[in-house]
Amino acid sequence: MKPKNLPLGNIDHEPIRIRSTEDLGAVLKVRRKKQKMTQSDLAGLAGTGVRYIVDLENGKQTAQIGPALKLIEWLGLEVTIREKKVD
């Protein structure tokens, strides 16, 4: 099978490595659109403001962790952490 050429941030059931806030923002944005949600929708669900969502999706370094995890939950995603393969 040839590896498919998927758009940046796309999630096709294989886990995506998050190295930076930019990575995270990209993934969340693509996922939100795939779920046909607006930023306001998400903000409402996760109990944050629109500004927070915008900042997060833009890879802001200083966005807070708590709300981000809730948001990820609402997007039907899950975060895992493990030892780096090559250390």
Task: Identify what 13 binds: its own copies, DNA, none; CB under 5 to 8 Å per kind.
Answer: its own copies
Of 34, 36, 39, give the one whose Cα is nearest residue 7.
34
Tell me, rounded to whole angstroms, the distance of Cα 75 from its chain centroid: 8
* Cβ nearer to DNA, comparing 3 with 66: 66
Q: Does 26 bind DNA (CB under 7 A)?
A: no
* Cβ nearer to its own copies, comparing 16 with 50: 16
Report how far residue 67's alpha carbon sits from residue 43's, in angstroms, rounded to the nearest whole number. 10
Residue 6, phi then psi, degrees to nearest 5: -95, 150
Task: Identify what 81 binds: DNA, its own copies, none; CB under 5 to 8 Å per kind.
Answer: its own copies
Q: CA distances (Å), 27 to each of 1, 58, 85, 86, in order?
A: 25, 11, 22, 24
Q: Does 28 bind DNA (CB under 7 A)?
A: no
- Chain contacts with DNA (rule: CB under 7 A): 29, 32-33, 38-40, 43, 48-52, 54-55, 57-58, 60, 62-64, 67
